[in-house]
Structure 1
């Protein structure tokens, strides 16, 4: 990440005006812990994460809900093998063959699910091409 982009991201996170901002910061840390190669930026006015391509993007459009969209890149990749995730607590809602959404209705729910969320992201990232 370029220094200016990193500074912009830090400013963005510091000034994030969302009722679940502390959960955003916790989930961001969890995502970054999965792989030291993960890069981050702001996309659609929210944190976005990439390895070889984008794979996780926050959806902060609703003040009462926090979502993380897991996907296989900036553009659909119909030929990408199907991603499989072990998710015993059913955090991930599939919205397509290679697209899932994790929704947290409260800060407490996000904090309580942090370990499971991290495991889901780790599994997701390991299957990206």
Structure 2
């Protein structure tokens, strides 16, 4: 099973109030750069380029959708304030609704493209 089929299967059984929003964010990330692929890692949909992990959803919260991005090659600029946190190598993104997801599409895709450029 390739990564997309694995993620599709996982999401088909997911009971989370923001599953539709997760699907939308997933599409935005995959559309941002052709090298980004997906799989299930850390018991959640995750994204990577080759052996470098881009990040994963953390699905325990149900009042928002949390996406953790990792930056093993250095942080990227985030002039829109999309990302939160002060960790040395990762940042958190939160999505609360379909409208919030749509509003964050282009900043998210910009971050993904800049992340890939650091490889």
The reply to whether TM is greater than 0.5 is: yes
Residues 8-87 of structure 1 correspond to what in structure 2 (within 5 A)?
8-52=6-50, 53-72=52-71, 77=72, 80=73, 82-87=74-79
Report the CA distance between 1:5 and its aligned residue: 4.7
- Are 2:115 and 1:124 equivalent residues in the alignment? yes
> Which consecutive unaligned segments of at least 5 residues does structure 2 have?
none
**5 Å matches for 1:95-110?**
95-110=86-101
Rg larger in structure: 1
- The alignment covers a number of residue pairs equal to 118
Contact 2:3–2:39, Cα closer than 8 Å, also in 1: yes
Q: TM-score, normalised by structure 1?
A: 0.78
SS of residue matched to 1:93: coil
What TM-score comes out, normalization by structure 2 length?
0.84
The CA deviation at 1:47 is 0.7
Post-superposition shift, 1:58?
A: 0.8
